[in-house]
Amino acid sequence: MDLEKFFDRVNHDILMSRIARKVKDKRVLRIIRRYLQAGMMQDGLVSQRVEGTPQGSPLSPLLSNILLDDLDKELEKRGHKFCRYADDCNIYVGSKASGERVLERITQFLERKLRLKVNGEKSAVDQHWKRKFLGYSMTWKEPVRLKPSPENVKRLKASIRDLMRRGRGKAVERVIAELTPKLRGWGNYFKLSEVERVFEDLDGWIRRKLRNMIWRQWKKPRTRLRNLRARGVSENMAKQAALGGYGPWVASGMRTMSFALPKKYFDELGLVSLLDMRRLR
């Protein structure tokens, strides 16, 4: 379940009434109200904010949790299992019929009591492994385990493709240096994943992309043959790969290139292994 334009549509009066349940100092309440109504720049003009909370402010997530505490308590009262972070919430029930009923009733609760609108396009009733939460999804069979969602894996691959496309002609060390912060950030975010295969497959794919890039840089068959020999590949295997007329992607997946440029080679160049990061968590 996703709330449509949540931070833009928070009702100030409802939020302030929830804060006032715990905060009794009227001076503090006035400061918070002024913060909520602080002017915003739009098309060169400053206008007063009549609903919503300032985007990007560290206080906004806290205020969202105060407002949505009513949702948490309603779900607890109904006996539902759920996960919520800010305006993103997954509710787990036993059947599709139950899910549709809960979605309808919780939508009514949010619209009536908190004056918030559920995003119909991003909210749905489906099996748990087909939904994602904060970038994570789950395996379909028992025991259920966390893993990076397929959408996030595709997004990472797309960004790596773009980086390597722009990196053609650069030294492999430079490309790896540019990859490092991206891979470290992604690996750290998904370190709670319980499925290793995703990380193993990504590592293998990234190394193949780098081998593909190196194969392109070697360009001519005789250069490829010389470099494969230098990397310890046998004469027959080196000739078959270098003189066989294989395209870069096919060649990068051959056993010859895996032998010539193994994982150890990329480790020494500083390539971050997502699988190693996960195992060291």
pLDDT per residue over 83-108, tens digit each?
998 888 899 988 889 999 999 999 99
Classified as helix, coil or strand, 103 is helix
Task: Say how far apart CA 105 and CA 121 lie, in whole Å.
Answer: 17
Task: Say how far apart CA 23 and CA 16 lie, in whole Å.
Answer: 10
Q: Flag whether pLDDT at 154 surpasses 70.
A: yes
According to DSSP, the residues that pair with 147 across neighbouring strands are 137
Q: What is the dihedral of CA 219, 223, 225, 229, to 10 degrees?
A: -130
Percent of the chain with pLDDT over 90: 59
Nearest to 235 by CA among 246, 244, 248, 226: 226
pLDDT for the residue numbered 270: 93
In sequence order, which residues have a C-beta less than 8 Å from that of residue 38 and are 6 or more positions away?
A: 49, 54
Side chain identity at 44, as an amino acid letter?
A: G
pTM over 0.75: yes
How far, CA to CA in Å, does 58 sit from each of 54, 63, 105, 230, 251?
9, 9, 31, 55, 50
Nearest to 63 by CA among 26, 118, 23, 24: 23
pLDDT in tens, 161-184: 999 888 777 899 999 999 999 999
Q: Flag whether pLDDT at 11 surpasses 80.
A: yes
Classified as helix, coil or strand, 90 is strand
Band of the pLDDT at 197, cuts 50, 70, 90? very high
Nearest to 204 by CA among 154, 166, 252: 252
How far, CA to CA in Å, does 162 sit from each of 157, 166, 237?
9, 6, 32
Contact 213, 174 (CB under 8 A): no
According to DSSP, the residues that pair with 138 across neighbouring strands are 146
Kindly state the average pLDDT of the residues 187-207: 94
pLDDT for the residue numbered 130: 87
Q: What is the dihedral of CA 67, 71, 77, 79, to 10 degrees?
A: -140
Band of the pLDDT at 258, cuts 50, 70, 90? very high
Side chain identity at 58, as an amino acid letter?
A: P
Kindly state the average pLDDT of the residues 198-210: 96
Q: Flag whether pLDDT at 43 surpasses 80.
A: no
Q: Flag whether pLDDT at 9 surpasses 90.
A: no
What average pLDDT does the structure give for the chain?
89
Kindly state the average pLDDT of the residues 18-25: 91
Kindly state the average pLDDT of the residues 201-210: 96
